[in-house]
A and B are shown apart, each in its own frame.
Chain A
Amino acid sequence: MTVWIKDGEVVDPRRGVRHDDLIVEKGRVAGILPRGAFRRSGEGVRVIDASGKLVLPGLVDMHVHLREPGEEYKETVSSGCRAAVAGGVTAVACMPNTVPPNDCRAVTEFILKQAAGAGTARVYPIACITAGQQGKTLTEFGDLAAAGAVGVSDDGLPVADSEVMRRALEYGRFHGLTVISHCEDRSLSEGGVMHEGVVSTRIGLPGIPAACEEIMVCRDISLARLTGCPVHVAHVSTAGAVALIRRAKEEGVPVTCETAPHYFTLDHEAVAGYDTRTKVNPPLRTPEDVAAIRQGLADGTIDAIATDHAPHSPLEKELEFDRAAFGMIGLDTFLPLVLQLVRDGVLDLPEAVRKCTLNPSVLLGIEGGGLEEGSRADLTLVDPEMEYRLREEDLVSKSKNSPFIGMTLKGRAVLTMVGGRIVWERDGTHPDSR
């Protein structure tokens, strides 16, 4: 079976944007040809009209929470992967704060088994740095890597002990695992529920100061400098953190980072109505921080964009603000929010795509992230002009905790392919999925 994706704007981070036809055979990109060069038709060739569409490498979301095992009422590997492909995401790296946490081979293998069963997006587990996310003893990095984990992180319960973190960086590199740090000094953020600033003062909610992120970024940069081992900073949200990472990079420290779409789209004013869907950690910061995140994306300080997709049910969200859980879903809105960055002139299209495809693939050491001859045919067709007011029922994720409901978004995946199989089409069917 040959798939002929005809007449689209093919975007590759390295090659740029070209008006080409893309041929898929045996799960890979068999050719990228100028328009009109490919002529075969008839049996065995499926033609997909991509005129007016972007053909992007499938997005690689290096920071999602799939909630399985343990919190299947919020999301499962299968429902999360479905939300992913519906949003143009063909690969996700899932965080280990499941119940039980992913701190051993059994859990990693279970997640991969569920992913294989789901048969849509590719799933790359991130395992815990320490047993039970307790910050004390390292997990079996070797065994976890052998089982299929691509990175380690204690995510929301960051490693407070600097000695443990140092050893994690050293040992992680030996096993080829990306060490991801959620930077938060929890002694400083304790009790806080939103960014500490003029809005928290005005509406009377306990604050989380920017410094609590920056202190940990500083520490992790120091440890990366000390050990020479790379560290990846998750969801950067403050101007100070961007500045610290920028300087560390200039000095040659092996530090990389990601941010999430909500940090370059929303600021702390969004919290003013006590809408728990805006409660996220790190919190939505100031307009100055938003501008600094955008600057960090533009100048290359921020390597990747990842959603921190964090599904929660009404049980965790339909509560008083300080009792509600932190986190918002992101897979469903990833693509339009990134395309908005392009329309705002922050990044050009290939560069924006690079931060959601090639860069996270390189950071995680996984295949993919481009559309060249021989690439895996993980791709998505996007209608960049499709404009829509986001409704709750549009969300494919099992949970609906998105602060973007009611907003007008532009740009939508209309077809997603993983390994040459169509796993999503806009009308909601998955013709090839099992």
Chain B
Amino acid sequence: MTRFEHKDLLGMGQLTADEITYILDTAESFKEISTREIKKVPTLRGKTVINFFYEPSTRTKTSFEMAAKRLSADTTGLSAAGSSIVKGETLIDTARNLQAMNPDIIVLRHSSSGAPALLAREVKAGVINAGDGINEHPTQALLDLMTIREKMGRIRGLRVVIVGDIAHSRVARSNIIGLTKMGAEVTVSGPPTMMPPGIEAMGVQVVHDPREAVRDKDVVMVLRIQLERQKAVLFPTLREYSTYFGLDRGMIDRAAPGVLVMHPGPMNRGVEIASDVADGPASVILEQVTNGVAVRMAVLYLLIGGSKRDGMD
């Protein structure tokens, strides 16, 4: 059995293919818990998880919260707005103060790339990156991988296209790393203004026009246009973005039969994805959310010491 001996989950970059498989297997075994009448197991009883969300988030925060609670961990939420960050405290000081309360895990969402690495260096608790700047969002990639594996039975050899703002997307970066490690063929697509230089070095192919890029693909991942962090000059108008880069029915028809349509949410309906595609038969967007809880349960469990635990408590 693969052992999982990380203190932190900072990114997909730190995981081997075997470790990814191990997390997905663990997540699958946890998934059933969420379908029970009593959705709770005592696995992490007495453990403390701090959800530290420096940036706004609904889905990810709720998902982590639920994952921890279903494993019986105690959770505390902390957001930048309600914390001493608005009073000028640095991340390191906040980290040291949180550490002084002896949590087992700190889940961090932060607007700065690399912030979880900084936190991890400062605290004894395990750190889970719940999205840092434009760097990584590993649990999103894991839940995407889980969904693909569940629906398609495999990941290796699948043709996956990621469409949208590749340059500014942590979801794209984590998925590129995860998918290529698991043996998928990855294409990235989107306007040249949203394509980072040297992305080919990450093992992907670039096809700017999504009409071309989706051809014969098994999975189409659509990225959210992040209106809140967009520099105005990346595209002229939402109308034009949606015309050239929005995923519509016509594009889905060019993909491989049985294609999966994925979106990390929250969606801008009518911008990067047409409503009939989002709600159509190819869409697995809500399954992604379901799997998100399972994957986060698995990650919490493994980091707190899944293998060490056996026989210890």
Contacts and interface: CB of A to CB of B under 8 A. Distances in A.
Interface of A: 191, 196-198, 200-207, 209, 273-274, 318-323
A322 B198 contact: no
Contact of A197 (B112, B173, B197): B197
A320 B134 contact: no
23 contacts: A197-B197, A201-B196, A201-B199, A203-B135, A204-B113, A204-B114, A204-B136, A204-B170, A205-B113, A207-B196, A207-B197, A209-B197, A274-B113, A274-B117, A318-B92, A319-B90, A319-B92, A320-B112, A320-B118, A321-B113, A321-B115, A322-B112, A322-B133
Contacts of B90: 318-319
Interface on chain A toward B: helix, strand, loop, or mixed SS? loop
Given A206-B134, A319-B90, A273 B198 contact: no
Contacts of B170: 204
Interface string B142-180: 000000000000000000000000010010010000000
A204 B117 contact: no
Interface in B191-236: 196-199, 201-202, 231
A109 B88 CA distance: 36
A274 B202 contact: no
Contacts of A323: 112
Nearest to B112: A320
A170 to B, nearest CB: 35
Contact of B201 (A202, A204, A319, A320): A202
B91 interface: yes
Nearest to B199: A201
B86 to A, nearest CB: 15
B117 A273 contact: yes
Nearest to A191: B231
B296 interface: no
Given A197-B197, A322-B112, A323-B112, A204 B118 contact: no
B132 interface: yes
Contacts of A321: 112-115, 118
Interface in B29-53: none
B70 interface: no
Interface of B: 90-92, 110, 112-115, 117-118, 132-136, 167, 170, 173, 196-199, 201-202, 231
A201 B200 CA distance: 10
Nearest to B114: A274
A196 B90 CA distance: 27
Contacts of A318: 90, 92
Nearest to B115: A320
A31 B116 CA distance: 61
Contacts of A274: 113-114, 117-118
A280 to B, nearest CB: 16
Nearest to A201: B196
A284 B313 CA distance: 50
Contact of A320 (B110, B202, B231): B110
B112 A198 contact: no
The 5 closest A-B pairs by CB, nearest first: A204-B135, A274-B114, A320-B112, A198-B198, A201-B196
A204 B132 contact: yes
Contacts of B117: 273-274
A196 B197 contact: yes
Contacts of A209: 197
Nearest to B110: A320
Contact of B114 (A191, A201, A207, A320): A320
Given A203-B113, A204-B133, A205-B113, A198 B118 contact: no
B197 A320 contact: no
A203 B196 contact: no
Contacts of B202: 201-202
Contacts of A197: 197-198
- Chain A CB count within 10 A is highest, among B118, B136, B202, B231, for B118
Contacts of A319: 90-92, 118
Contacts of B134: 204-206
Contacts of B135: 203-205
Given A318-B92, A319-B91, A203 B114 contact: yes
- Chain B CB count within 10 A is highest, among A205, A206, A274, A320, for A320
Given A200-B196, A203-B135, 20 more contacts: A196-B197, A198-B197, A198-B201, A201-B198, A201-B199, A201-B201, A202-B198, A203-B113, A204-B113, A204-B114, A204-B133, A204-B170, A206-B134, A274-B113, A274-B118, A318-B92, A319-B91, A320-B91, A320-B114, A322-B113
B96 to A, nearest CB: 11
Nearest to A205: B113
Contacts of B136: 204
Contacts of B133: 204-205, 322
A429 B117 CA distance: 40
Contacts of B167: 201
- Chain A CB count within 10 A is highest, among B117, B198, B201, for B198
A274 B112 CA distance: 11
B104 to A, nearest CB: 24
Nearest to B135: A204
